[in-house]
Amino acid sequence: MNQGRGIRSATTFGLFAILMVLITGGTATADCCCPGTGSPGYWMNHPEAWPQCTICIGEVSYCKDRAIELMKAPTAGDKTCTLFQALVAAKLNVLIGNCSCCIDCTISQADTWLIDNPLKSNVRGNSCAWKCGEPLYCKLDAYNNGQLCAPSRDELEADD
């Protein structure tokens, strides 16, 4: 599957959901067909929930098993690993149909950051590179935990 096409489809789905809320005069609630976001931990431990068997991060395509293996590996202070985990989760959250209007730009910027700072390139927390990468990570983390434009799956399950 073409990763770019999958993201565009998920983005279109999210924008359609927002448009329907505006047209109907409703509010964005968990009652829409939004499945809820999952954290990196969720995606690491639920491979059956992945909507596809590969994911493209920083212009590198990873099979699901390899991506999960990399997500589970100790980061050893390498911030590229930290951002990788958050970006994988965010892309999967979009692909399953969560609203992405608040995170599309950040996903694109994080992909670019990982092109410039490839996975396992040992970017430290006190580096100039991480000064640019950390705000991207923080926003991805907020999205993955349901604090932005899509609720978390934990929040939706608690409401059931």
DSSP string, 74-129: --TT-HHHHHHHHHHHHHHHHHTT---TTTHHHHHHHHHHHHHS-TTS---TTSHH
d(CA 122, CA 149): 32
Domain ranges of the chain: 3-159
Q: Is the pLDDT of residue 106 over 60?
A: yes
The pLDDT mean for the chain works out to 86
In tens, the pLDDT along 21-67 reads 454 444 444 445 689 999 999 999 999 999 999 999 999 999 999 99
Give, for 56, the enclosing helix (H) or strand (E): strand 54-57
- Structure confidence at residue 18 (pLDDT): 52
CB 50 within 8 A of CB 92: yes
d(CA 93, CA 100): 9
State whether residue 148 is helix, strand or coil. coil
pTM for the whole structure: 0.80
d(CA 53, CA 61): 10
- Structure confidence at residue 160 (pLDDT): 62
Average pLDDT over residues 148-160: 87
- Structure confidence at residue 136 (pLDDT): 99
Tell me the C-alpha to C-alpha distance, in Å, between residue 68 and each of 39, 46, 82: 13, 10, 13
Give, for 7, the enclosing helix (H) or strand (E): helix 3-24
State whether residue 60 is helix, strand or coil. strand
In tens, the pLDDT along 136-149 reads 999 999 999 999 99
26-43 burial: b if 16+ Cβ within 10 Å, else e: eebebebebbbbbbbebb
- Rg of the chain, C-alpha, whole Å: 16
In tens, the pLDDT along 80-90 reads 999 999 999 99
Q: Is the pLDDT of residue 4 over 60?
A: no
